[in-house]
Structure 1
Amino acid sequence: MTFQDYLDIFRNRRIGAMLTLGFASGLPLALTSGTLQAWMTVEGLDIKTIGFFSLVGQAYIFKFLWAPLMDRFTPPLLGRRRGWLLVTQLGLVGSIAAMAFCPPHEALWALAALATLVAFLSASQDIVFDAYSTDVLRPSERGAGAAVKVLGYRLAMLVSGGLALYLADRVLGWPHMYLLMAALMSVGLVTLIWAPEPDVPARAPRSLEEAVVGPLRDFFGRQGAWWLLLLIVLYKLGDAFAGSLSTTFLIRGLGFDPGEVGIVNKTLGLAATIIGALFGGSLMVRLGLYRSLMLFGILQGVSNLGYWILSVTPPHLWTMGATIAVENLCGGMGTAAFVALLMTLCNRSFSATQYALLSALASIGRVYVGPTSGYMVEAWGWAPFYLGTVIAAVPGVALLWAMRNTVHRYEAQAREPAEPAVPRPA
């Protein structure tokens, strides 16, 4: 494959749609979490009320419960995937704009209801976007597509997070900032006009029962299904452990100023993640899925040694920056390959439900390592803990090596031309 072939992959409409739809997918998240918390804090609400608002994010955890509906039913416009994206994005534009007219002190319950609605619609948009990317990207494009998805999502989080706080505080005020964020959702709506349909549309489930049971029957009917689930849990486990207490380590363990940590984490860390995802996606075109997963998985684990080095050497700003840059670079590469793996494992007829289930399973490590990490640091100290995060990466890499033939088989099947999916007569 020539260099021009690499460029052509990143230039096509399918990859372009990943960038702008990824931006639309990432934009609402901070508006119901960190940015909303900042608004309530500035307005002087008590800490219990602010903490209660964190519950609106539960929709992202339980989104697999209504994913079968989005596999089963097709809206009247733009097909099964783009149609649902149109519905969810129109709802997000309206509900985010409505939040602007509900100041926390004056309309708290209305704000809570709207924040819950935004989170629900955002989680639903994520379901359909993941399914659309699984359906529309060709196997050779999945690495690049995953990288560009990460790029769009991260840029949106920066806009609705740090930039939104600055605009609300210094330029526009909170209501007008939320109106601007609602307007920015139009990026996704404009994209839907030219975003392509899959080369071979997949058959939708014939009934709601098939939409619920079919994805499970399809996945667990495969050889090595349970080992694949274990691989999904373990692959980024070491990465999750390393990141679980990194901010606390840098501030409390090493004594860095919170401002320094914030600037390095939010700017250098974000840039390194984006570069890592794009670089990893480019390498995947050449290396293929299995070799990319193996190489990036090893790099993820080894990069955790940077935190161990920080814990046993005198703290310097440049060593902190180097550690965060390397760890996020390798983590971004691993994320690109991991997202491509999830796409490869999904049956396109049930891609909304299967991707939602697999991504929920993948989040187990990220969600539940926090309490465990705290106990480990308390018992061992920082240096042994970060050596432990390197060891925690080993089972995922070892299981990947043991399952190399299985991953190669799925990779080869994904390259085979799909047959048109025609509904069978009832």
Structure 2
Amino acid sequence: MRLPNLFQTRNGRFAAFFLLYVTEGIPLGFAATAVATQLRRQGVGPAEIGAFIGLFYLPWAFKWAFGPIVDVFAIERLGRRRGWILGTQIVMVATLFATSFLKLPEQLWLFSAILLVHNTFSATQDVAIDALAINTLNEHERATASGVMFAGASIGQMIGGSGALLVTSWFGFQSSFYFVSAAILLVTLFVVLPMKEAATPPRVRAAGSAMAAAGREMREFAVTAFKSFMGTRGAFVGLFMSLLPPGAMCLGLALQSNLAVELGMDDGAVATMNFWSTLIGAAGCLAGGLIADRFDRRRALTWYILLMSIPVFVMALVLQHFNWIMPIAPDADKPDVPTLLMTAFWATTLVYAFFNGMMYSATTAIFMDVTNPVVAGTQFTAYMAMFNLAISYSATWQGISIEAWGYPGTMIVDGFYGMLYLLVLPLTRKRPGDVAADNALAPGRARKLGLVLALLCLAWLPVHALESQFGAAKDIVNILFTLVFIASALFLLAGAALLGAVAGRLTRIGAWFSPLLLLMQVRNYQDGLAAKLGVSTQSLGATLDIFLYGVPLLAAVLLWQMSRHAWADLALPSTTEGEAGDTALPGAKLAAAS
């Protein structure tokens, strides 16, 4: 029997992209719900689970780097995008199948590494699917397709989360790996293989190797994104806003799975909760989008963030009331769980899911508002990448915080930290006379950003000197400074590209120096590094301190010097803010969630 090419008809195209996005949602639901639940059930602590979830989301924060690779490298006879989708899905299935042979929690490090590879290919698939959608869908089909894609991802998360947990409750945890692998493979066999991609004009091959061409595209992406961020006040504020969680995130991340296990919920009950929360969250996304389109969306988002904080605070107070503070080992003798506590957990999780969905739709729309339509794909992708980075570090710090401060304390801090978003949100509002790519003010914004990063690098010096006094908060502070060092490295690279001959030697030094800022991450692995080198942690630490003090200090000097230059070459084509919504990717409304 010959399978149909779904791209031949309008409804077929909708069905194809629905199913392709199902395969994107499956890994997210599987890791964040099914795997996180089983890890806690097997005695893995909240900090390790938080780090696992944070690592799993990390490739989505860097998927902008995969775009040039997908654009440049292609096997034309397989289809420029179809070949990538086919290849990534095969690797996704293979990596999931490989993890089924690992023993948890003993091999958690290898399990995490393989799933990191898996999710890297999943993020690459997302880039290829969005590119295919742009080339395949007619303009009048794109709004409907965006909703269809979001629905597909939601169904995928239910399959990977609720479905995998139900299979686990019937046949054991190992069977869930075969289940999710089979679900992805079915789409590969019945959608991707029969797919006939529309013919596209032959790609003009640039001079040099394909790898060099991909590198040039990455550089062009980074430069264009930097220029667009500096273009208007809204875009500049959006740069910082995208690195903040929009409201309390804890009841949508691993904290919820940890609590479910500790409160005695079996896999079937967790699956049911995940099913309803995902469904209610999708309804909230639709409702939130409709309201935000008809009324002032910044005011709407303010209410959404405040409302999604209420169930978090209520659950924190209930846990405090019943003295359910610190995490409890799954095999420990537990106190009886009061009915009111379990009822509150169900109610707050479902209410939170609805307002969380409303928040996602409005947040995505605001990022579209501050995006310059001329560079919409570049700028919006960069915003969503940083948003995913915020989700990643939120999952990580919450896991650490649960073990240090307990559940109620973590939830209270998460709720108030999420409200920082509301302080910068009004600054994204368009003012009379604002024009996207307002080139007169862009250089000043670049100089201010360089100066702020220089001061933050200097702030690391006393923080590192006093880190022993931070206690459990040390790891959380480290996460924040990791963001500072990454941002500083990117700023130095942007300076090398944009200042060029104007700054001369300074830009060349900055370009070569930026990788050292990324290597500051070595501070988190001193114990393992000392063991491999066969030296004591103390002696390695003394040697490493030269690096850990010297690099931020020199980076601060370079950043300060760059902030003194004119940054004149920041011009982008001028267009009115607020027109970006029609030019964003068809799957844009999902990007923040995925």
For the aligned pair, the TM-score class normalised by the smaller chain equals: 0.5 to 0.7
Counterpart of 2:426 (choices 395, 398, 408) is 398
Alpha-carbon offset, residue 395 of structure 1: 2.2
Work out whether residues 215 and 350 of structure 1, in 8 Å CA contact, stay in contact via their aligned partners in 2. Answer: no
Quick one: structure 1 residues 293 and 81, their matched pair in 2 at CA, closer, same or farther if it must change by over 3 Å?
farther
Q: Matched residues in 2 for 1:13 and 1:338: separation?
A: 30
Work out whether residues 88 and 122 of structure 1, in 8 Å CA contact, stay in contact via their aligned partners in 2. Answer: yes
Work out whether residues 143 and 281 of structure 1, in 8 Å CA contact, stay in contact via their aligned partners in 2. Answer: no
Number of residues of Structure 1 aligned to a counterpart in Structure 2:
393
Alpha-carbon offset, residue 211 of structure 1: 1.1
Q: Does 1:412 align with 2:417?
A: no
Q: Matched residues in 1 for 2:198 and 2:343: separation?
A: 46
- Secondary structure at the aligned position of 2:265 is classed as helix
Q: Does 1:158 align with 2:186?
A: no
- Secondary structure at the aligned position of 2:384 is classed as helix
**1:183-202 superposed Cα distances (whole Å, 9 cap, x missing partner):** 32135433347879799999
- Secondary structure at the aligned position of 1:259 is classed as coil
Counterpart of 1:298 (choices 295, 298, 303) is 303
* Aligned twin of 1:149: 149
Q: Does 1:279 align with 2:279?
A: no
Work out whether residues 139 and 415 of structure 1, in 8 Å CA contact, stay in contact via their aligned partners in 2. Answer: no
Q: How does 1:238-317 map to 2 (within 5 A)?
A: 238-240=247-249, 247=256, 257-259=263-265, 262=270, 265-281=273-289, 287=293, 291-292=296-297, 294-309=299-314
**Which residue type is aligned with residue 271 of structure 1?**
L
Q: How does 1:19-168 map to 2 (within 5 A)?
A: 19-29=18-28, 35=34, 57=56, 59-77=59-77, 79-100=79-100, 102=101, 104=103, 115-133=115-133, 145-168=145-168
Quick one: structure 1 residues 317 and 212, their matched pair in 2 at CA, closer, same or farther if it must change by over 3 Å?
same
Q: Matched residues in 1 for 2:389 and 2:110: separation?
A: 32
* Aligned twin of 1:181: 180
Counterpart of 1:219 (choices 225, 228, 241) is 225
Quick one: structure 1 residues 162 and 267, their matched pair in 2 at CA, closer, same or farther if it must change by over 3 Å?
closer
**Which residue type is aligned with residue 85 of structure 1?**
I
Alpha-carbon offset, residue 205 of structure 1: 9.2
Q: Matched residues in 1 for 2:272 and 2:169: separation?
A: 22
- Secondary structure at the aligned position of 2:75 is classed as coil
Q: Matched residues in 1 for 2:583 and 2:40: separation?
A: 54
Q: Matched residues in 1 for 2:281 and 2:61: separation?
A: 23
Quick one: structure 1 residues 182 and 91, their matched pair in 2 at CA, closer, same or farther if it must change by over 3 Å?
same
Alpha-carbon offset, residue 23 of structure 1: 0.8
**1:352-409 superposed Cα distances (whole Å, 9 cap, x missing partner):** x76654323113433334638949978x968965773574342243133356966993
Quick one: structure 1 residues 162 and 268, their matched pair in 2 at CA, closer, same or farther if it must change by over 3 Å?
closer
**1:112-165 superposed Cα distances (whole Å, 9 cap, x missing partner):** 775454333223223333444566667776665444434322322332233223
Alpha-carbon offset, residue 321 of structure 1: 4.2
Q: Matched residues in 2 for 1:170 and 1:99: separation?
A: 20
Q: Matched residues in 2 for 1:383 and 1:62: separation?
A: 28
Quick one: structure 1 residues 126 and 86, their matched pair in 2 at CA, closer, same or farther if it must change by over 3 Å?
same
Q: Does 1:365 align with 2:390?
A: yes
**Which residue type is aligned with residue 276 of structure 1?**
G
* Aligned twin of 1:336: 361
Work out whether residues 88 and 124 of structure 2, in 8 Å CA contact, stay in contact via their aligned partners in 1. Answer: yes
**1:30-81 superposed Cα distances (whole Å, 9 cap, x missing partner):** 5567656777899x8998xx97987973544544444421133333146443
**Which residue type is aligned with residue 155 of structure 1?**
I
Work out whether residues 97 and 177 of structure 2, in 8 Å CA contact, stay in contact via their aligned partners in 1. Answer: yes
Q: Matched residues in 1 for 2:258 and 2:26: separation?
A: 29
Quick one: structure 1 residues 274 and 41, their matched pair in 2 at CA, closer, same or farther if it must change by over 3 Å?
closer
Work out whether residues 233 and 361 of structure 1, in 8 Å CA contact, stay in contact via their aligned partners in 2. Answer: yes
Quick one: structure 1 residues 262 and 111, their matched pair in 2 at CA, closer, same or farther if it must change by over 3 Å?
closer
Q: Matched residues in 1 for 2:142 and 2:362: separation?
A: 9
Percent identical residues:
18
Quick one: structure 1 residues 265 and 130, their matched pair in 2 at CA, closer, same or farther if it must change by over 3 Å?
farther
- Residue segments in structure 1 that go unaligned for 5+ positions in a row: 1-10, 418-426
Counterpart of 1:228 (choices 231, 238, 241) is 238
Quick one: structure 1 residues 137 and 402, their matched pair in 2 at CA, closer, same or farther if it must change by over 3 Å?
farther
Work out whether residues 162 and 275 of structure 2, in 8 Å CA contact, stay in contact via their aligned partners in 1. Answer: no
Quick one: structure 1 residues 133 and 358, their matched pair in 2 at CA, closer, same or farther if it must change by over 3 Å?
farther
**TM-score, reference length from structure 1:** 0.68
**TM-score, reference length from structure 2:** 0.51
Q: Matched residues in 2 for 1:92 and 1:15: separation?
A: 23
Work out whether residues 365 and 581 of structure 2, in 8 Å CA contact, stay in contact via their aligned partners in 1. Answer: no
Worse-matched range after superposition: 83-92 or 264-273: 264-273
Considering only aligned residues, what root-mean-square deviation do their CA atoms show, in Å? 5.2
**Which residue type is aligned with residue 399 of structure 1?**
L
Q: Matched residues in 2 for 1:296 and 1:143: separation?
A: 21
**1:235-257 superposed Cα distances (whole Å, 9 cap, x missing partner):** x52243675796499789xxx93
Q: Which has the larger radius of gyration?
A: 2
- Residue segments in structure 2 that go unaligned for 5+ positions in a row: 1-9, 207-212, 322-339, 437-574, 585-594
Work out whether residues 376 and 583 of structure 2, in 8 Å CA contact, stay in contact via their aligned partners in 1. Answer: no
Q: Matched residues in 2 for 1:392 and 1:305: separation?
A: 15
Work out whether residues 53 and 392 of structure 2, in 8 Å CA contact, stay in contact via their aligned partners in 1. Answer: no
Q: Matched residues in 2 for 1:110 and 1:308: separation?
A: 36
Q: Matched residues in 2 for 1:112 and 1:299: separation?
A: 34
Q: Matched residues in 2 for 1:277 and 1:239: separation?
A: 16
Quick one: structure 1 residues 213 and 384, their matched pair in 2 at CA, closer, same or farther if it must change by over 3 Å?
closer
Quick one: structure 1 residues 85 and 244, their matched pair in 2 at CA, closer, same or farther if it must change by over 3 Å?
closer
* Aligned twin of 1:420: none
Q: Matched residues in 1 for 2:199 and 2:417: separation?
A: 42
Q: Matched residues in 1 for 2:306 and 2:197: separation?
A: 38
Quick one: structure 1 residues 45 and 208, their matched pair in 2 at CA, closer, same or farther if it must change by over 3 Å?
same
Quick one: structure 1 residues 160 and 364, their matched pair in 2 at CA, closer, same or farther if it must change by over 3 Å?
closer
**Which residue type is aligned with residue 237 of structure 2?**
W
Quick one: structure 1 residues 123 and 303, their matched pair in 2 at CA, closer, same or farther if it must change by over 3 Å?
closer
Q: Matched residues in 2 for 1:239 and 1:154: separation?
A: 20
